Amino acid sequence: MNISLSKKHMEISPSITLDITAKAKKMKVDGIDVVSFGAGEPDFNTPVHIREAAIDVMNKGLTGYTAASGLPELKQAICDKLQNDNNLAYKPANIVVSNGAKHSLHNVLQAICNPGDEVIISVPYWVSYTELVKLADAQPVLVETSEESGFKYTKESLQRVINQNTKAIILNSPNNPTGTVYTEDELKEISEIAVKHNIFVISDEIYEKLIYDGKHVSIASLGDEIKKLTIVINGMSKAYAMTGWRIGYLAANEEIVHVINNIQSHATSNPNTIAQYASIAALKEDQEPIQKMVEAFVERRNYMVEKINTIEHLSCRMPEGAFYVMVNISKIIGKTFNGFTINHSMDFANYLLETVKVAVIPGIAFGADHYIRLSYATSLENIKEGLKRIEEAIQ
């Protein structure tokens, strides 16, 4: 009997961000005073009116299955949001609601990729992009970016890697982990390349509401040709502090949606019914809680960036969106602190956790080993204490 496990799935790497965050949480449970900069979720409770909508739905007994691709009412609310916020005209038939934006990304890649296809990803990248591409039997093609250029694709960098096997470009703006926001002119350049070569654009816009400098533009809004090639990914997690509710969605042409509907109907059926109803309330009702989060994130971001740039050996750029800072640690590589030699970002992350009880995400998780990622989705008090500890650790 052949009891060997799946070779493809055994080659998938675990999420370093989730591992470190889990380790930090366990240390806290054990009574250790840990400051964690690892969290990829707002430290705010889900707004009251959204929670009350969920309770109301449960009390009414609306807890059964929905259509596998989501409630018609939620799809319409998403269409209204895309029209009002992004100048994008979609019908409910263009929408699939899934178990989080990550699930939407998974569905898209499963739907469009075949063995031998290539998907372009910028470095630094969100940890799951490369692994999701591999799960779809495609090959991630990594495009290095520079801190000086804002960690963005350039026309030249894209043109260098496009060939007959290129199936899609993954675009993440605002970006995790860099906080980069693409301008409309930069998106126009990317859209022209995609249209010229007939390449899909997977536009991950999950952080669109969390922008502090500039504005969000969806690449799909730049014309009918690019809209047809674009799959817009979004969700409720970041803007509405609904990470655990697990509702994401995508908008695409009906041919792609048809394939994704079939995939999801067999893989998961519908996303959580109660969370879907709560998401309708989130999209259609009071948006003020988002603004309050944004104001808090701006204050935290400004403090964090200013402080990091005063610490010897460390530096960072000002992120325009999301809630992360990529800290350049290249001046620390090769140095020894308190008997710990720092050869790469994982060494530095382990050193900080073991010596000063600060959890950070090593840049190697994002393909950028001379960086660490800090999240400012934590209180200003924690940020001040954590940066103080980091400064002490490398003095």
Residues 337 and 194 in one domain: no
Given 262, 284, 306, the domain boundary residue is: 284
- Pick from 5-9, 165-169, 288-292: least confident: 5-9
| pLDDT of amino acid 224 | 98
Question: Where does the pLDDT of residue 15 fall: very low under 50, low under 70, confident under 90, or very high at 90 and above?
Answer: confident
What is the model's pTM? 0.96
Residues 56 and 69 in one domain: yes
Q: Is residue 2 part of a domain?
A: no
Residues 250 and 348 in one domain: no
| pLDDT of amino acid 268 | 97
Classify each residue of 328-350 as buried b or exposed e, where b means 16 or more C-beta atoms within 10 Å of its C-beta: bbeebbeeebeebebeebbbbbe
Return mean pLDDT, the chain. Answer: 96
Residues 26 and 76 in one domain: no
- Total of domains in the chain: 2
| pLDDT of amino acid 93 | 98
Q: Is residue 33 part of a domain?
A: yes
Tell me the DSSP string of 143-199: EE--TTTTS---HHHHHHH--TTEEEEEEESS-TTT-----HHHHHHHHHHHHHHT-
Residues 167 and 304 in one domain: no
Residues 320 and 263 in one domain: no
- Cα three-residue angle 299-304-305, rounded to 5 degrees: 105
Percent of the chain with pLDDT over 90: 90
Residues 141 and 120 in one domain: yes
Residues 238 and 316 in one domain: no
Residues 18 and 67 in one domain: no
In tens, the pLDDT along 249-268 reads 999 999 999 999 999 999 99
Tell me the DSSP string of 267-303: HT-SPPHHHHHHHHHHHHS--HHHHHHHHHHHHHHHH
Residues 245 and 115 in one domain: yes
Residues 176 and 192 in one domain: yes
Q: How far is CA 193 from the centre of its chain?
A: 24
In tens, the pLDDT along 62-87 reads 999 999 999 999 999 999 999 999 99
What are the angstrom distances between the C-alpha of 151 and each of 154, 178, 181?
9, 7, 10
E runs forming strands in the chain? 35-36, 95-98, 118-123, 139-144, 166-172, 200-204, 230-235, 248-251, 315-316, 324-328, 336-337, 340-341, 358-359, 361-362, 371-375
Given 222, 250, 284, the domain boundary residue is: 284
In tens, the pLDDT along 355-369 reads 999 999 999 999 999
Given 267, 284, 301, the domain boundary residue is: 284
Task: Report the alpha-carbon distance of residue 277 to residue 62 in Å, rounded.
Answer: 9
Note down the domain range covering 360: 7-45+289-393
What CATH number does residue 339 fall under?
A: 3.90.1150.10
